[in-house]
Chain A
Amino acid sequence: MSNKQDRKSVAAAVEKGLARRKAKEKRFQRAGLAAVITALMMLAVLLISIVSTGMPAFTQTALKLDFHYDESLLPAGQTLNEETIRAMDFHGLVKKTLREKFPQVKKRKDKKALYKMVSNGTPYILRDMLMEDHALLGQIKSIWVLADDEVDSIFKGSKTIADSRLTEAQYGWVTQLVAEERVMTRFNWTFFQNGDSREPEQSGIRGAIMGSLFVIIVTLALSFPMGVAAAIYLEEFARPGRLNDLIEININNLAAVPSIVFGLLGLAVYINFMGMPRSAPLVAGLVLTLMTLPTIIIASRAALKSVPPSIREAALGMGASKMQMVFHHVLPLAMPGMLTGSIIGMAQALGETAPLLMIGMIAFIVDIPQGLLDPATVLPVQIYLWADVPEAAFRERTAAAIMVLLAFLVVMNLLAVWLRKKFEKRW
């Protein structure tokens, strides 16, 4: 065989192989693309379903009624003060107002149905208004009050009359109010101003948002400095050896421990042993610190490792001490990675439910927490709680709360990207 022929056959073989190689590459690319599209589609389905369920929760129907703060509310001979206002019968006032508005309603059963048209938080709103403005006594005041969630559902179109629990009579009254322009659908501020409630139209996520905020603050304040310090020590100062290996293995294992275990640990240590209060953001923060520490340590160590050795040598060669080398040169370069890792850890903590159930955050808490020791709940737990309630209005609120939680997560991730961009330096 001549050299020339040989070369030709080699070229042919390469050619043949090349086609196969290209086909293989194409197939692989297509498979990858298909995977991406599938994932995106699932994400889209999820988002669309959440948004479409949750959107109605952001609006709320209100009814305008004329309330007469009758002087007879105040027993004769008493002065108007906080105590006497508290003793007044505002439930009666609401009922009376409704009866006067719809004088045609006579039967007991119908009256009951009539009273159900407005939110049963209305008496308290009336009371608070009088508390604020004593001059209201004796006046007639037009007030927008929240409609009951069944009425609300009809207006927002999330229910038809057929599957609503509204009776024909109730529907008739609503229609009458609409005709008098006494019905309005407005942005649901209540949702962002109130804590949890048994009544859907009065329930909100303010309590959960505040709870989540406190928890995240505690978690961040503890886990970031501790995680970074631990990472710096392990990566830069600890002598390599058996002990160091052991620590490393344990940290990696901790990162893989199911989060509920941390909840049990928190229950045993912080609450039962140390006597901290249940449902407190402080305890939740401590538990989530345990949970996020490994993540932050691992991310921070990776960030430290990725700082080029030439920078360390440069610093040491200039006579910087090890500490100066770390804090002047290595840490600034590792910071973006550390911050990204920490924010991802925080995002995980923000979405965590299971361990918080163990420390009592599942309790039904109406008051908005004011501090680290007040009983509180957090967004994901609130979602979990609402998801369990059958009322349609709560189903909407569940989805709305998910949207709020997702919004927080997106903001945190954007923050991570922004910080990364801001601190990143070329070398």
Chain B
Amino acid sequence: MSTKDKATVGEDQHGIESEDTETVGKPLLAAEKSRMTCRNVFVYYGEKMAIDNISLDIGKNEVLSMIGPSGCGKSTFLRCLNRMNDTIDICRVDGDIKLDNQDIYDQKLDVVPLRARVGMVFQKPNPFPKSIYDNIAYGPRIHGMVDSKTDTDEVVETSLKRAGLWEEVKDRLDAPGTGLSGGQQQRLCIARAIAVNPEVILMDEPCSALDPIATAKIEELIDELREEFTIAIVTHSMQQAARVSQRTAYFHMGKLIEVGKTNKIFTMPSHQLTEDYITGRFG
């Protein structure tokens, strides 16, 4: 039975049968190309399974976007990549996730350096209620990357410049970060994340709380950052996924349905569910 037939059984029913769990497309990359590798990842919230056997690679210097209807587990999966799920007591992660061939769920590995290597930008801009300067300087300080005021000044300046925020805030570095506009706050959060020079940046719907102009700025920024960082971005906007990413992964009810080159996914999806989603039939 083809997937097409099944999906037409009922327009509202988008459940997937067991034989469909095989991900369509190319979730895996060649070893030398990938930054993070995930194999057979399962995530449970208590008894409830939120991620069901996902294997996916994230390449070096690529932007991977993750799309899918809400509640399908995009955030959950993203938060596995820097072990933010550790903070949720009932959450349990199974499987094998590696960063540069190092198991990040290794008992001996400390999450602190991991999170310095895998930074995160959240859905709602969440600058610390401190000055702009201190927001950026916080990461380098706690990780011992800066010794002197001049070091710190330099890191703050370069980070803000890389995040395209320097010109707007250079005269008021002592002003509270929470006093900026939403878009500026989000760029401040990005600057804060890149201040510790991570290898991977995870972004969970970074533009969902922003207006179109601020969104455009962030998208532009993501494109620039790709040169230095690997970026995994969750988004509910397909246009955004199409604009910023090279590869796109489509999630559905905890399963990874399809992965492929972004333009292929949006023009010629192979799986019925993907097609239904990108043509706006649900989600």
Contact = CB atoms under 8 A, between A and B. Distances in A.
Interface string A312-336: 1111111111001000110011000
A107 interface: no
Contacts of B129: 311, 332-333, 425-427
A318 B122 contact: no
B176 interface: yes
Q: Interface centre among A308, A318, A332, A425, by most B CB within 10 Å? A: A318
B102 interface: no
B204 to A, nearest CB: 10
B116 interface: yes
A311 B112 contact: no
A316 B87 contact: yes
Contacts of B127: 314
A104 interface: no
A313 B122 contact: yes
B70 to A, nearest CB: 19
A26 to B, nearest CB: 40
Contact of B126 (A313, A332, A426): A313
Given A319-B115, A319-B142, A426-B176, A314 B89 contact: no
Contacts of A332: 129
A311 B128 contact: yes
A93 B283 CA distance: 103
Contacts of A2: none
A42 to B, nearest CB: 41
A317 B84 contact: yes
Contacts of A308: 126
Nearest to A313: B122
B89 A318 contact: no
A426 B89 CA distance: 29
A318 B192 CA distance: 8
A240 interface: yes
A314 B125 CA distance: 9
Contacts of B234: none
B115 A318 contact: yes
A72 interface: no
A310 B124 CA distance: 8
Contacts of A426: 129, 176, 178-179
Nearest to B140: A318
Given A240-B89, A321-B112, A324-B142, A315 B84 contact: no
Contacts of A186: none
Interface of B: 82, 84, 87, 89, 111-116, 119-120, 122, 124, 126-129, 138-139, 142-143, 176, 178-179, 189, 192-193, 196
28 contacts: A308-B126, A310-B122, A310-B124, A310-B126, A311-B128, A313-B122, A314-B127, A314-B192, A316-B115, A317-B84, A317-B115, A317-B120, A317-B122, A318-B115, A318-B119, A318-B138, A318-B192, A319-B114, A319-B116, A320-B142, A321-B112, A329-B128, A425-B129, A425-B176, A425-B178, A426-B129, A426-B176, A426-B178
Given A313-B84, A328-B138, 6 more contacts: A311-B129, A316-B87, A318-B119, A321-B112, A333-B129, A427-B129
Nearest 3 interchain pairs by C-beta: A319-B115, A310-B126, A317-B120
